[in-house]
Structure 1
């Protein structure tokens, strides 16, 4: 078993406010969990707790059903891949990958077999005699991953392993890590990143942490779920605004009425629109925020369920185009258009707001239940 369970875990440094508070989290056997959140939210601290590099102030951490609060890092059955590679510069690739097994006094034949098998998996078998200074950044990172593989750990920990690589190498190494998880499905993997693409493409479970304007929220779990759950069903404004790039558009307004499976909202400075949510717990006149992702707004659709805006910026990314619309003092609205869109700065466009694509949040920022959902 390689499950990881946090039970009411807190972490504080002296008299300073806790950097993690009330963390209750279960990561199942063989899961690929990605910790993500803004800088300072505590994601790396949470990872280092699993590794045994940070003490737990209170609460309990269990790995494979075993309490490990007081267990030294070397006895936890984990292997960690660092952002900085942490390779020995005077050792060859082979020696770097074999070092941990040699310390454990494993037989030479076993060490050789494991190193060469890992090197073949990571396409490093032709580089075993080279030193780190003769390798590219991506090759060095693969050596660090190989050093973890040969130990056959119960848990792999990755602390922003791709942040030092250029864009092409990041994409390539990300694919290799995904394949690694498929090959070592018996082991759990925990991965820390600030990159949403890495989180959305690698994770079977995303753990999003708060920074929180309120001290009580800082270091808490904002939402835990599959990538598509967080994308299509964000629990609150923080999650909705953090997951997705460009971020979700937010439109303030007031609730006019709550009909069965439908909320009627008067947007500030805009039309009255309908959203497929259950707003029955709110009274008419309540302040709400309507959200819609750029890819769900319908460019050029003009009806009672639409906004008007002037194009201020056009971003062409090859496969898609993003239009930034100025709404006269209101927050800029971003809409996704087709790759061959002919829109130009200065054009005035209508943006359709489909009822089934709208999210509605109350005055505390909590999401109202959606009645018609997009696929998750």
Structure 2
């Protein structure tokens, strides 16, 4: 079992950088997810670790050994591809045993290892079938099993769930998490564009920049635990990428700042306060407030502004209410319980609790949030009223609490 270390790793094609200045330490036994949009270089980075691409600049270490010039077969890694890459003319057993057979392992050892992997993946009953007789989820488990039998120090997954339907993705995601736990000390590097996979599987998420931002600032936008990226994004790019629906953004200017509270004025003259440290900015400096849909409640007990309902999405467990923002046509989104309903054209108080607000300066960098922990604020309608009643038609300004 091994750790993975990248030092100032870059990759260019014809002079065009795809991966820029990556410094990353993946501990032994860690589940690290490389997350980002298409074209950000996450699969390229995985292929650099696997040895399928040459590093343009920088150094790669697996364990304490520099791997830049070591061929893929000698790196102690096993890769699971998006396309499964199974041999169609071989049975499941033969696919699982292929790598060990090439290594001329003892037949008894091969059988014991293959059966152990098949039991872990719950595919014992499929060993005599060929890939064409398997479902997508079963084929993916066989591909994972082929990696397991090699007993590598590092597992590499390249978007392994993207070919599966929603139900199979959830099931296979659980299987991958269980396998990582059961294997023990093996490190896992997992590439995905799906933030749900990243949030549910990762010990640590590495969110990658793309395009000009990656060339100027390096490929890594932020690296940390899933909840760290969710609750304390380093910049607006991270805040906007993590979370679905996306964070709501509200332009404002700074009025005054103390150590724990920033008071701001919105473009239409309304005033709000946020628990952020904005002392590095001068009064009058432009900034952007951010609040997640589950924190932007519809009630009057918090500081709030009143906005018109554009439409709603009822998903059963939740209702997403889209409010007119007046900003480039992009609506603000509020998440309510699935039992609630609103009417287009209705005016509702868009509540913005100061402890739930984020703030970003003109360059998009986050201001430090001044809260000790992330509160779990539950939505509650005003006493005796539902959200679709006239009692929620409040004034457009609520006095800021001290």
Contact kept? 2:19, 2:214, Cα under 8 Å: no
Match of 1:314 in 2: 312
- How does the TM-score come out when normalised to structure 1? 0.97
The residue correspondences of 1:121-140 to structure 2 (distance < 5 A) are 121-140=120-139
RMSD: 1.4
- Quote the Cα distance in structure 1 between the aligned partners of 2:292 and 2:373: 12
For residues 161 and 219 of structure 1, what CA distance do their matches in structure 2 show?
26
1:12 matched residue in structure 2:
12
Q: Distance in 2 between matches of 1:345 and 1:326?
A: 10
Q: Secondary structure at the match of 1:140?
A: helix
Structure 2: distance between partners of 1:341 and 1:54: 52
Task: State the Cα distance separating 1:259 from its structure 2 match.
Answer: 2.0
- Kept after mapping to 1: 8 A contact 2:299/2:350: yes
Divergent runs of 4+, >6 A? none
Cα deviation, 1:181-204, whole Å, max 9, x if unaligned, reads: 110121000100011110000000
Please report how far the alpha carbon of residue 373 of structure 1 lies from its aligned counterpart in structure 2 after TM superposition. Answer: 4.5
1:46 aligned onto 2:45? yes
Any conservation in 2 of the 1:270–1:307 contact (CA below 8 Å)? no
**Structural mapping, 1:212-361, within 5 Å:** 212-214=211-213, 216-217=215-216, 220-301=219-300, 305-329=303-327, 331-361=330-360
Deviations 1:82-134 (A, max 9, x none): 00000000000000000000000000000000101111111110010000000
Higher mean C-alpha displacement, 312-321 vs 163-172: 312-321
Offset at 1:319?
Answer: 1.4
**Distance (whole Å) between structure 2 residues aligned to residue 350 and residue 212 of structure 1:** 39
- Residue 193 of structure 2 corresponds to residue 194 of structure 1: yes
Pairing of 1:108-127 with structure 2 (within 5 A): 108-127=107-126
| 1:20 and 1:218 in contact (8 A); partners too | no
Contact 1:302 1:351 survives alignment (8 Å): no
Aligned residue number for residue 163 of structure 2: 164
| 8 A contact 2:257–2:277 mirrored in 1 | yes
